[in-house]
Structure 1
Amino acid sequence: MNKLIRFLDRNSVTKSAKLPLIHTTAAHNIENIVDTQNIQASLCDVYKTDRLNYFFVGRPAYKGYSGSETAQYWELPCCFIFDFDVVENPKRIYPFDSGAFANTKYPHYINCLKREQFEISGLDGAVSKLIGAFFGNTRSYFKMESKDRIDFEREFSLTAFDAEIKALHRLSKHDSTKGFDDRRFTIEMQKEGDLNLTVHRPLAVIAPAIYFDDPVFRNHVQNVWGAQPIGYKTHQLSINAYYGEIYTHVEYFLEQMGVI
């Protein structure tokens, strides 16, 4: 039992509600996803032998290519929003982007610790307990508004031997954008293998609006997948300029679901 599981297991943590899972990919992958009816897994740079799909809990936090030049619509993010239980047996769950941790993009105060101490897939209700412990509720988690440090340490009677827990809480408060961003405390869930969309249908699909101008694709999203199509307008902007708008769409969708 690692340090984070032990912390979540030993304390009387009030579980949060469940948030949907969000898978983000480049929009040019939409055609293949529709044709195959699968979100296909790929070999991972960090876990070399695993074919994985990555999901983030409640936030569209994945960032792919991020150049500064004007982006074409097919380069832009497309988000698939799923019910939380779509990943029945997660391969791994981390409270942050494990790739950023592996590439030492986080501050030394947490990167000096062992990544394995933060993997929580072995704990029942781990995600709800994690959100409840560090944020209190799902809306605070979505807004990245973690509990006050002093209150947090007092609530759970943390000692000098709880370095991993203190480091994780500090990471949630870290306001520097150099080298890392909202992925610093967005819960990552890994699924081994492809996700079959004929079995696990999305709740919503967020993509550049031009895709939903195609009646065949729009019909597929609405009537084959039973999902809500959510389009966003494109401009002469870099990819980074779109993340805020996507967050706004996700926030509104989660509010309509009543989960934040």
Structure 2
Amino acid sequence: MNRKKFQQFVEDKKTMPGMLPLVHTTPCDTFLDVIDAGELTPSYCEHFKRDLLYLFFGRPAYRVQESATHNLTFNWPFVFLIDPNKLTDIHRIYPFDTGAFFLGIYSRFFSKRAKEADFRLPGDLAYAEKVASIFYGGPKGYFNARSGICPNIGLTDFEAQGIHELSKLPPFASFGSNEIKRDERSTAIEIQIANSLDLRDVVVKILVPEPFITDEVFLSAVKKHDLQDRVGDFNIVGFHEGNSWIGQIYQATSDAFKELGYFDE
């Protein structure tokens, strides 16, 4: 069977180009290591059996680890927005978060015979642009996960059919109390990088929890790599659970995209 069928489906569609920054979100304890080193580095992936750095095309898709209290700052999210024009060596692209695919979270959308290779796209961001255009009408629709698009999908384009159905459903929808709930990562386009990225070369914005804006440890770290002018913030609401902060992060990311000119009509 042709395992590049989804790639061929994407290539065959006429789309309007629309680029977005790439996004890497990490908890505070990891962020401090990253900012100290001045680079994002790949780490070993059990699924792909190699070192990889994971980014998402245009979305700060992320879920915090459960902790005893939201005041434990080790788990607060930090967001890197990365200039897509600065990446020259992308390993692979997928139309969803592959971690959830390997966990079987998309099992209702694809054949039991489906493999990750069926959805694998070459390391060219034009493919990410095309996926966003085909299933969401462009970068803004993709960012907001509003799919009113009805692409012409053939009867044997099984992979595209599943991706289309995923794009139409609310990201937190589940089909039973025993199923793991999806989140917005299920429709976030995954970008895999196999090499380190120097923050000074690739980062256009760092979005951090508002209390860190005046924290001396944080300020010293960003000044070390001359990144202090690229910092933005989002609000932390202490009586909300950690996962509810994602709305604040999306708003800050949207504002940054507008500032950088990515949502220009």
TM class by shorter chain equals 0.7 to 0.9
> Is residue 173 of structure 2 the alignment partner of residue 177 of structure 1?
yes
1:250 positional shift? 0.7
Residue in structure 1 matched with residue 233 of structure 2 by the alignment: 230
Residue in structure 1 matched with residue 178 of structure 2 by the alignment: none
Assess if the C-alpha contact under 8 Å between 1:81 and 1:203 holds in 2.
yes
> Is residue 70 of structure 2 the alignment partner of residue 74 of structure 1?
no
Q: How many residues align?
A: 251
Residue in structure 2 matched with residue 251 of structure 1 by the alignment: 254
> Mind listing any 5+ residue stretches in structure 1 that lack a counterpart?
none
Assess if the C-alpha contact under 8 Å between 2:135 and 2:147 holds in 1.
yes
1:135 positional shift? 1.3
Assess if the C-alpha contact under 8 Å between 1:104 and 1:111 holds in 2.
no
1:99 positional shift? 0.5
Which digits, 9 at most, give the CA deviation of each residue in 1:134-176, with x for residues without a partner?
A: 111211111111234xx323xxxx3211111111100111224
Matched ranges for 1:25-104 at <5 A: 25-48=26-49, 50-67=50-67, 69-104=69-104
> Is residue 109 of structure 2 the alignment partner of residue 114 of structure 1?
no
Which digits, 9 at most, give the CA deviation of each residue in 1:202-254, with x for residues without a partner?
A: 11111222222125633654770241332433514432121111111111111
> Mind listing any 5+ residue stretches in structure 2 that lack a counterpart?
175-180
Which digits, 9 at most, give the CA deviation of each residue in 1:27-70, with x for residues without a partner?
A: 1223222221122221113212x111111111100324245753
Structure 1 segments (4+ residues) deviating >6 Å: none
| Equivalent-residue separation in structure 1 for 2:260 and 2:198 (angstroms) | 23
Specify the code of the residue in structure 2 equivalent to 1:217.
F
Specify the code of the residue in structure 2 equivalent to 1:58.
G
TM-score by length of structure 2 reads 0.85
Assess if the C-alpha contact under 8 Å between 1:25 and 1:64 holds in 2.
no
TM-score by length of structure 1 reads 0.87
Residue in structure 2 matched with residue 167 of structure 1 by the alignment: 162
Structure 1 residues 172 and 198: alpha-carbon distance in aligned structure 2, compared to 1, 3 A threshold: same
Structure 1 residues 30 and 12: alpha-carbon distance in aligned structure 2, compared to 1, 3 A threshold: closer
Matched ranges for 1:139-178 at <5 A: 139-148=140-149, 151-153=150-152, 158-175=153-170, 176-178=172-174
